[in-house]
Structure 1
Amino acid sequence: MLPTVDIFIPCFVDQLYPATALNMVKVLERVGVKVQYNPDQTCCGQPAYNAGYQSQSRAVAAKFLQDFAAPQASDDRPPRYVVSPSASCVGMVRNSYSSLFAGTAQQSACQTVQGRTHELTEFLVDVLGVTAIPGARLAGTYTYHDSCSALRECGIRAAPRQLLEGVAGLERIEMAETTTCCGFGGTFAVKFEAISVAMAQQKVEHALDTGADFIVSTDVSCLMHLEAYIKKEKLPLKCLHVADVLASGW
């Protein structure tokens, strides 16, 4: 019995890359998952948390727990998960929520939601056992950017590469220092603009050295940052979220 998925669409995706959210739904439905969307959902609370406003972040996070509360799985009810196209937000829920709700009345609810929350590619590979999306096709070469949140907070490295390996016509060329930060870092890009831009430049130059057509990642925040530098410099690269790639060709 395949599970039901409650999708969480982060602020960046909702406001700037809505097509990525739709492509995630397309991919999930392709593998037979029932997708639910709660229109009351807002933010995971990460912007306030990273800026040091813990009480404000907790209020937003408490709403997240309420919005994604779900009944326990049983013999006649399939398991239910929270799936997001953002390792950054997933990392916030699975890690930072622990300190936000430690010793509170919501600690148990927090732990339940944490255990159900997954980034898209890890959910497909590690939970469902899906290694390729039927019909996915995209001609060209790509290099992969490991976002800090995916790699360091969620331990995600193999899953996106495995899924992308199953995309017909697409070839991966690993760039140098793929695990190095792109320089976005949320408010870091605002507070330390010059350093942030220099880090984006370094990442893009490594990507260009591969001769790849695309930079692919799990996080649109990183891709937005890199894409801004690419467009400003009029460079021959395109940024794609992994969901956009997996939804291509069918």
Structure 2
Amino acid sequence: MTAPPYPQSHGLLKDRTVVVTAAAGTGIGYSTARRAIEEGARVLISDYHERRLGEAAERLSEETGQKPATFTCDVTAQDQVDALQEAALRELGHIDVLINNAGLGGEVPVVDMTDEQWFRVLDVTLNSVFRMSRAFLPGMYARKSGVIVNNASVLGWRAQKGQAHYAAAKAGVMAFTRCSAVEAAEHNVRINAVAPSIAMHAFLAKVTSDELLEQLSAREAFGRPAEVWEVANVMIFLASDLSSYMTGEVVPVSSQRA
């Protein structure tokens, strides 16, 4: 089954300010930034790769007519995360929505996994969500308004060989989302997460074998991976007022068979 047509815009984030991490390249972060702009938001995108970040900003300008602000940031370094938060305030004035999209995978069996592989994946995928949330939540608390959307994965629930580090990190993102949401609700701030199954983009194709991609796609009821914008659409929904009663939820973006 082929993907549906690219969605029309409805102004769901009109006049909102949005920060998206790991938004270089052509993956979920980039697509979420594009959909946020299309829905009326002012956007700042961030990534570890300065050159690719600049290229992403230029593409977004061509595709949407609005060039987002940019800030290079390594989400594993707290000083850079703090600098990103300060830059976002300078560029946008305040932050309505934070999209925590940074993550790192890789396929390796537990018995072959090094400490460095284990801790690197957890640092990028889980610890970054903690660092970013800790940096941005005080401003949202002060304004009594704000939304955080985290990017988890169905692997936080389901098993796959060679993915123990990534699955553990994504399960941690889910638990962190639920617990931080209960705290944030006292300040009228919402925190939710998406859990995609498989969304096709260039980096995934680079680090995953064709055989595994074919197997993963075959598990999906539609027989295809998601388009990255199909995941981004759910992130935009969670960032918008359409999900105003939702917090602490982890929403699958999947067509996997039962």
Structure 1-normalised TM-score? 0.33
* Higher CA-based Rg: 1
